[in-house]
Structures are given as C-alpha cells and as structure tokens.
Amino acid sequence: MNRKSLGALVLVVTALFSGPLFAHHGSAGVDMTKAVVVKGVVTDWRWQNPHSILKFDVKAEDGSIVHWAAEANNPADMVERGWTAKSIKIGDEITVTLHQSKNGSPVGTLMQVTLPDGKVLGTTYIP
C-alpha cells in the first residue's frame, strides 16, 4: 500500500469514527429558543465528566410528582462560573431554569439554579 492510499484510508476511518463525537454535542432535541422555570427538590447531583447531571422532583398542578433531569457542563467549566461539587445538596429546594426537550419530556439543558439561600448559579451549556 502506497502512502497516498494509506493516507486516504486513515482519512476515511477518522471520518467514520468522529461523527458520533460531534453528534454527542448536538442540541437538536432541545428547544434552545425558550427558557422553562420550574421549582423542585433535588434528588441527585452528579458532578462528573463529560457533563454534570441534576435530578429533581417537581410537584405538578394535579399533585403528582414529575422527575426532571438537566444536563450541565463539565466540572471544569462550571468551576469557572462559581460552582463546586457541593453547590447543590440532595433535599435542597431549588428553582431551575433550563432549555427543555422539544418533545416536552421533563429533561433539558441547565441554564441556572437558584439555591435555597437565594444565590443564583448560572451555566452556559455549550452544545
């Protein structure tokens, strides 16, 4: 195999395997044009790579509990915005602003959280 053929093969293989990496950072399933604000109680806070995850329960108008999840940036990016692993605690009553899933399911990308003491922590989700 000559160098030209080997180079073409490497290029094709790289292109085939890099697609999923770029797709991972898409925001096609989220309505980035509007913000949704909900109040709830934290059930889980995962300070992890590649994205932190906030889970919280919201009481619906009919009295039922809706389990929400919001994806945030990675810890390194969030530290730059004032967050720490201990910023949110299970049981905290919080107000969450997020971009919700286009299909209306209770998931989305985190924009900001208002903590019980009134402190507001923001994040710029980078799709």
pLDDT digits (tens, 9 = 90+) for 28-46: 788 899 999 999 999 999 9
pLDDT of residue 29: 85
Confidence category of residue 13, pLDDT binned at 50, 70, 90: very low
> pLDDT tens digits for 60-69?
999 999 999 9
- Structure letter (DSSP) for residue 85: T
Q: What is the largest CA-CA distance in the chain?
A: 69
Residues 6+ apart with CB under 8 A from 45: 52, 53, 54, 55, 88, 89, 90
Domains of the chain listed by start with CATH number: 36-122 (2.40.50.140)
Q: How confident is the model at residue 107, as a pLDDT?
A: 97
pTM for this one? 0.76
Phi/psi at 76 (5° precision): -60, -45
List the structure tokens of 82.
Answer: 């004032």
